Structure 1
Amino acid sequence: MASMTGYTLCAWRQHHQQNAEAVATTLVEHLAALDRHDNAWIYLATPAQLQAQIEPLLASWRENPASLPLFGVPFAVKDNIDVAGWPTTAACPAFAYTAENDAVAVAKLKAAGAVVIGKTNLDQFATGLVGTRSPYGAVSNAFHPDYVSGGSSSGSASVVARGLVGFALGTDTAGSGRVPAGFNNIVGLKPTKGWLSASGVVPACRLNDTLSVFALTVEDAWQVAEIAGGYDATDAYSRPNPALAPATLAQQPRFAIPAQMEFFDDKPAEKAWEQALAQLRLSGASLHPIDFTPFHQLAEQLYAGPWVAERTVAVGAMLQQPEQMDPVVHSIVASGNDYSAVEAFKAEYLRAELSRQIQQTLAPFDALVVPTAPTIHTLQEMKQQPVRFNSQFGTYTNFTNLADLAALALPAPFREDGLPAGITLIAPAWHDRALAAFGVGWQAQLQLPLGATRQPQPNAASLPLSTQHVRLAVVGAHLTGMPLNHQLTQRQAVWVEETRTAACYRLYALANTQPAKPGLAKAQSGAPITVELWDIPLARFGEFVAEIPAPLGIGTLELADGRRVKGFICEPAALSDATDITEFGGWRNWLARKESAHV
């Protein structure tokens, strides 16, 4: 069998579509080709365990292939996430148990056709950003074996970077879903807390954990998160998407960046950051330095204060067996016993105050951009300063979950020494899709190879139409630059494109409207009319419609390419004294004609 290394989700789908009945043979052969001594893996499936997953999928595939968007895609799961019938260790053999059920996110991915092929190594109890604190061995960087992979989701990032799976699940509390992505030239999607269920996940800090997704492309990471996510009543911290955030960032986004950068004397990291900033400017973004003090202050709270007691709760009775734990992990987790309930409440008040400052600081901008990590170290260096260097890695990640922010780690220009150097976009909760939309364009712009596979970027991609937004066609006073456009922009609506309706509409200039408005009506004989498409958050659509005065309303319009979208329509009774301006092809042309007539 030809090598399956470096396949994106699309490539896996195309491969299986050619011979769906051979999916079991394909994946068993792929499994056999994996190195069982590769310490990125803690547990690899048996052929029988693959067959048990695949057989029910084939029946569903034969009946309705569209019901399995991830059919036959192999994926990996960080070993603090349950897979039914498989051991969960959290990288601590003495803690190991056999999971009775799949974690909710794993179950959803399996139901979509994906196949778990193995469970991956991690910093023990997800405590670390380094990938070295595991009895199963330190996971090496995918580009240079002397360097760390980053953690705690080290194994998941490594197997994705080397193209051994289509995607992998990790977890992220302090940056565990981002730092390994940055160190291995892959995408790390850290979702808004509560979007992906934590049911079936061994917690690190339950209030500040989230599952994360590693993939070779943003498009793939987004598709996986969309399938794995959603409200789960069995998870007390799960929450539904309020559908208030924009679908994309602005066409020319305003990005905040730290005014004072810290790279810990790592000149290649600093130069790579400067190259990334140059690429951001080329993309059309403007960069605005901000005071990063509250971000740093909040980041320090995660390990240097009572918040560490969350880890103490999660590890529980294992703390009484220090000989069974990594000594660095044990010392960190045990320190949670040193704090009182009074100190914990004070820490929460400080977190809330700093989070509010951060939210206010970011309010004028589309997102914050930071280096995913300010430096990198070798495996030998980590042995000398394990706590100090781990802390350095979290400089631009530790605050994110404490402040309830979404984040997306992206590949960026490499360091001059050949190691990857990523950037991370950070925005308010539920801005995940907006960040992903920018990330798709960013990968297309840079055209970096996929992970460590040397495979080229696939053809230009785009995210599917959002289920959390309404695509709306506007034809008159709501067009860009027109008097009522603010009714869209103040509701986080974003411009998508200018296009035309099908040739079955007539356009009228309505009488006695202020500001002047057109009326669009379907007719047996018509012409294409220019419209703009906007994506408006689903939860804001109703209040937008409530502002529309008679005789206008919202119906369904047919576009020239056959798409159907919501759009402005007009009551027929209002057209009797209106002026037919269909021949002008659009409202702007009509206004321009009127203006030129007065010159």
Structure 2
Amino acid sequence: MRSAVRSSFFPLVRDVASVYGELETLRDRSVFISLKKREEALAEAECLEGGDVAGKPLYGMLFAVKDNIDVAGMPTTAGCAAFSYTPERSATVVERLEAAGAILVGKTNMDQFATGLVGVRSPFGIPQNALRADLIPGGSSSGSAVAVARGFVDFALGTDTAGAGRIPAAMNGIVGLKPSFGLLPATGVVTACRSLETVAVFAREVELAFKVMQVCAGFDPEDPYSSRMPEPSLGAVPPRPRVGVPYPDHRQFFGDSAAEAAYEADLERLADLGAEIVELDFMAFIEAGRLLYEGPWLAERYLRFRTLIEERPSTILPVTLGILSEARQMGAIEAFDSFYRLAELKRRVEGLMEGLDCVAVPTIPRFYTMSDLAREPVRYNSHMGTYSNFVNLLDLAAISVPVGQRSDGLPSSLCLIGPRGTDGLLSAMGRMASAGMRSAAPLRATGGRVELAVFGSHLSGLSLNGELKAAGASFLRTTQTVPDYRLFALSSPLPARPGLLRVGRGEGIPVETEVWSLERDAFGALAAGLGAPLSMGVISLADGTEAKGFLVEAAATVTAEDISEHGGWRAWLSVRR
């Protein structure tokens, strides 16, 4: 298996030649639908070796893309030879990856028209599961997941509507990152459900998956669904994250006791790492998931491939054609009924997730074998989407990570789900869950983000922390101020709020502090909202760093209560209660 760590001193050309030597002699030709020409990839490697590596965060990494993502000069089939065309330009995400120093190897197999979660609905063969040959590979991004899991490439792109960026990851024991909708542009991507589908990332480590997402992210005016969102930042996990999980009687494993036990063990790991596990009603999530194939979004799939369906149906796999043809029975009345119901479910889910840092579910309810699928091809495909179908419909972000091990030796994966824009927090949670430990070294802000020290109601778990998260803030570290400050409870206006006052050197006490990072614009908006007696200043911290933070005017502390002896706002609140 290739290492995902490269440097300019590594013989890149030799590495690329070695990978092609392996792929070209591979008996199993079902992972890739097409390979880039060897000489082209070698020429790119030679050019990289002789150039400046500065500004190339993915220098020399090899990648593949699902065959519904355009690569200039290579056919795009979307899993159907009759649909094939050869684009003159690569997808925006591919262009950005290559500009960052990555080298594309080929285009991977997929369930035809991205219609399936099992990975066996392709006329180009079935990619062999990387864990066990009798298991299905998962879909629809089957080839991308297998290519990463078997070490052919460092990372790969897929797409995700119903779980195709997460389920194959879990089936092959790797990381699958499904970004917030609109964060990664879909220009040059054959989307089955344009209003929902996202480009997804497969890698063997969370850090690399996140780095790839960062490179791909950014507004694209050519994509009408692209959004201007803060650049995602991989921070740390708050000290006491609140993690929602389904009530026990809402969990479904379809008879797989090993999966059920592994999920319980994975939740115990989260609790051991400091998470507060909160059980919640999961039926709104499940109902939303059913709408994906029972509602108008099936018609959206039909619309995308309408010409081929109606003019050359014999060129489409019978199972795919059968699913898509059901869209003909749907009308505008039923469509609006589904839109209204989804809006109601979104509002209910917002309430359920309020105050939570994320929701943690099994990525897949169980493992299925090839022989299982032969017996029940449609029903078991439906089962695979139990914990994934609802995510895009509810406008959520998600990441699947391998966490523990089942009793049969297969990996157990958790899918961590959060509101749109929480990609950094979810990835930090995934990294912690997968590693079984928190980051040892204190984290600092990167990419020009501003460090903000908070010590009051903006602390994690307190009433105003949601404002930080809504502004795209990422938690970095817990620390204290130097002993040059005193903390006051300002009683006017009510409710009480904290005021941090700088005093003489050594005349104060260390105050509990959390440091978060924000984009400059978000920080500016936060600072602009401050009013007397608070102002923005620079806070000196016990870890030797400085950060921006709220300071209080001395005059406002004359009638305020000095609560410094408690060491922090959270401690004072607990005593006050």
- TM-score category, normalised to shorter length: 0.7 to 0.9
Equivalent of residue 332 in structure 2, options 317, 321, 341: 341
Equivalent of residue 534 in structure 1, options 508, 512, 515: 515
Give unmatched runs, 5+ long, in structure 2: 573-577
1:28 aligns with 17
**Per-residue displacement from partner, 1:22-65 (whole Å, max 9, x unpaired)?**
3223212222122444311111222222134335534542xxx3
Instruction: Give the CA deviation at 1:291.
Output: 1.7
**Per-residue displacement from partner, 1:260-306 (whole Å, max 9, x unpaired)?**
21111122211221221221221222222222222111111111232
1:399 aligns with 390
CA distance in 2, matches of 1:530, 1:376: 49
2:380 aligned counterpart, secondary structure: helix
1:471 aligns with 451
CA distance in 2, matches of 1:509, 1:78: 55
The 3 A distance-change label for structure 1 pair 495 and 110 is closer
Equivalent of residue 388 in structure 1, options 374, 379, 387: 379
Q: Does 1:354 align with 2:354?
A: no
Aligned residue runs from structure 1 range 125-204, under 5 A:
125-204=113-192
Instruction: Give the CA deviation at 1:415.
Output: 2.2
Equivalent of residue 366 in structure 2, options 354, 368, 375: 375
2:151 aligned counterpart, secondary structure: coil
Q: Does 1:292 align with 2:288?
A: no
The 3 A distance-change label for structure 1 pair 550 and 359 is closer
Q: Does 1:231 align with 2:231?
A: no
1:90 aligns with 78
Give unmatched runs, 5+ long, in structure 1: 448-458, 579-585
State the number of aligned residues: 551
2:402 aligns with 411
Does the 8 Å CA contact 1:87/1:98 hold for their aligned counterparts? yes
1:87 aligned counterpart, secondary structure: coil
TM-score by length of 1: 0.82
2:575 aligns with none
**Per-residue displacement from partner, 1:52-89 (whole Å, max 9, x unpaired)?**
4335534542xxx3311110000111111011111111
The 3 A distance-change label for structure 1 pair 521 and 59 is farther
Equivalent of residue 301 in structure 1, options 264, 285, 291: 291
Equivalent of residue 265 in structure 1, options 255, 262, 266: 255
**Per-residue displacement from partner, 1:362-413 (whole Å, max 9, x unpaired)?**
1132211111111221112212211111000001100110110011111022
CA distance in 1, matches of 2:533, 2:287: 55
1:303 aligned counterpart, secondary structure: helix
CA distance in 2, matches of 1:404, 1:375: 25
1:74 aligns with 62
1:450 aligns with none
1:454 aligns with none
Instruction: Give the CA deviation at 1:486.
Output: 5.4
Instruction: Give the CA deviation at 1:519.
Output: 4.2
The 3 A distance-change label for structure 1 pair 249 and 337 is farther
**Per-residue displacement from partner, 1:307-365 (whole Å, max 9, x unpaired)?**
21111011122213222111111111122122122222222222222222122221132
**Per-residue displacement from partner, 1:516-545 (whole Å, max 9, x unpaired)?**
84544999x999976734215546534542
The 3 A distance-change label for structure 1 pair 562 and 96 is farther
CA distance in 2, matches of 1:352, 1:499: 43
CA distance in 1, matches of 2:129, 2:178: 20
CA distance in 2, matches of 1:471, 1:262: 42
Instruction: Give the CA deviation at 1:554.
Output: 2.8
Equivalent of residue 211 in structure 1, options 192, 199, 212: 199
CA distance in 2, matches of 1:244, 1:159: 26
What value does the CA root-mean-square deviation take over the aligned residues?
3.6
Does the 8 Å CA contact 1:488/1:536 hold for their aligned counterparts? no
Aligned residue runs from structure 1 range 101-116, under 5 A:
101-116=89-104
CA distance in 2, matches of 1:552, 1:356: 35
